[in-house]
Amino acid sequence: MARLLHIDASPRGIRSRSNMVADRLIAGLDGHEVERLEVFDADLPAFDGAALEGRYALIAGDPVDEAVRTDWAAIGRMVDHFMSFDGWIMTVPMWNFGIPYRLKHYIDLITQPGLTFRVVDGQGEGLAAGRRAILVTSGALDIRPDGPMAAYDFQLAYLKAWLGFVGVTDIDVIHVRPTYGDEASVAAAMERAYAEVDALLPILSLPARV
């Protein structure tokens, strides 16, 4: 049994198209445990000013300043929580060609030197290597990496780049798009997304880490 974290980056609750599709995926993950993190409801501490200096201290190999130890303890707990899972499901709508700001905030908090990546001989090394991410990405327009509007994709391209940076290279993608248009074309997009889920489930390998 694998433990998965479902990082939900849509604030739309039951109206969320990406979550409708993720629900189908999660329902098919018999025997695996899925915990949900709604980034729009999560308590995400500010990552600015003094707290940010802690990151530069870590990069320099120095201890984090006493004044921001409490903030950094909270960041450490968030990273421990993220890193405790065998894999991640992410539901991510495209917002202004990229990702919703609350997901970016979460990513900025957990992407820390020595915690989710480290630098060895000048090279970055992701510490979440060997695990899987399943991305359920939505968008009003059919912007996808292999399509005619690929130049506008800073959503999936960004997510793949960030996951790669923290070491995650086994990435499955479900497209829920276009979600804007006449009823028939939106319904067809949903059916295509559900079909992608149904095709993925039988071949999905989700080993638990030992």
**Ranges within 134-163 binding ligand FMN (CB under 6 A):** 138-141, 143
Q: How far is the CB of 63 from ligand FMN (least distance, A)?
A: 40
103 burial via Cβ count (<10 Å: 0-12, 13-18, 19+): buried
Nearest CB to ligand FMN, comparing residues 141 and 171? 141
Q: Which of 4, 6, 16, 116 binds ligand FMN (CB under 6 A)?
A: 16
**Which DSSP state fits 13?**
G
Interaction mask 86-105, ligand FMN, x per CB under 6 A: -------xxxxx--------
Taken in order 165, 51, 100, 195, the sign of the CA dihedral is positive
Residues found in the chain: 210
Whether omega for the bond prior to residue 93 falls within 30 degrees of 0, making it cis, is: no
Residues binding ligand FMN: number (CB under 6 A):
17
Determine, following the binding rule CB under 6 A, whether residue 17 of this chain makes contact with ligand FMN: yes
Nearest CB to ligand FMN, comparing residues 15 and 123? 15
Q: Which residues of the chain form beta strands (DSSP E)?
A: 3-8, 33-38, 87-93, 117-120, 123-126, 132-138, 170-176
Q: How far is the CB of 92 from ligand FMN (least distance, A)?
A: 8
Residue ranges binding ligand FMN (CB under 6 A): 10, 12, 16-19, 93-97, 138-141, 143, 179
